Amino acid sequence: MNEQLSIFDIVIDNKKTEQVIQIYQTEKPPKPNAYENVCPYPIPTVAEIIKLIERESYRINKSKLISDTFACGAIAISNKIDLPNYEKREQQYLQIIKSYEPREQKQIAELFGKIGALLSSVVYDNGVFNDYLGELFMQCNQGNKNCGQFFTPYHLSKCIAKINITDECSKQGKIITINDPCCGSGGLILAGLDVLKNDYGFNYAHDCFVLCSDIDIRCVYMTYLQLSFAGVPAIITHQDTLRQELWSVWKTPAYCMQYLRFRQFENYIHGVKSE
């Protein structure tokens, strides 16, 4: 991390003001080591977020609170950049948020604020990734056991990514495409990006395109949130991959802002039957 010149390092050639500057002059902070967190704000933990959920679950159904927070957060991001879907998703947002009392609405906003702070910290924390929402989801017992819905622990996802990603996959300037037709919370994708960035120095925000799907809309929201806050160009579809039935398409801000670079990959979702 390069040292930055602060206003207190500037010496003004004026004797009257020089003494005042010396009074407020501060020492330069030491450089962070390779593993020190350089995020400019306190990062919430999964445990803190779960504690907040538990605090509100006595008056709000826990599953509904989690699902609605994910939905409102995903819609809030989507409606800033995906204008063709704005009206439909805005109506969905209003329908959800109006089902809560004003105090409860503030709690949802606080909960999403902590989730956003945690997820966006990966871009500050020297590329340290994790499947935070998958961890939160499973610790809150939200997985559908009847459907065999169990998310892969992140350390196993990362092991799989290390085995499959090679030097040939990480050539700079070459667009890498990643597809996961049953993405869950996006843990395998995040692990792949983790390895590309930290093992190979690959700029995934510019040279990687992700296409993923899930039949569970909650998983679509989780993956969309995690990839959006990590700055990943991606399209996440809510669909039945086996039956090729498509219900909705979610495009991350990084994809929309680089549309001309990645628009060719939209053909991958064409031809799927829409409800």
Regarding predicted confidence, which is higher, 128 or 89? 89
Tokens representing residue 274 in the block: 């829409």
Give strand pairing partners of 178. 210
pTM: 0.82
pLDDT digits (tens, 9 = 90+) for 30-79: 444 444 556 777 888 999 999 999 988 778 888 999 999 999 999 999 99
CA distance between the termini of the chain:
50
Average pLDDT over residues 235-250: 93
What is the signed CA dihedral for 133, 135, 139, 140, rounded to 10 degrees?
10
Token output for 226: 């995690």
Task: Name the residue with higher pLDDT: 112 or 6.
Answer: 112
Model pLDDT for residues 165-180, shown as the tens digit of each residue: 887 776 767 889 999 9
Distance, CA of 34 to chain centre: 23
More confident residue, 29 or 80: 80
Q: Which of 31-45, 46-60, 91-105, 125-139 has the highest mean pLDDT?
A: 91-105
Look at residue 26 in the predicted model and tell me its pLDDT: 46
pLDDT digits (tens, 9 = 90+) for 174-198: 889 999 999 999 999 999 999 999 8
pLDDT reported for residue 8: 42
Question: What pLDDT does 20 receive?
Answer: 44
- The whole-number pLDDT of residue 40 equals 74
157-268-230 Cα angle (round to 5): 45
Q: Which of 25-34, 153-162, 228-237 has the highest mean pLDDT?
A: 228-237
Mean pLDDT of 153-167: 90
Distance of CA 272 to the CA centre of its chain: 26
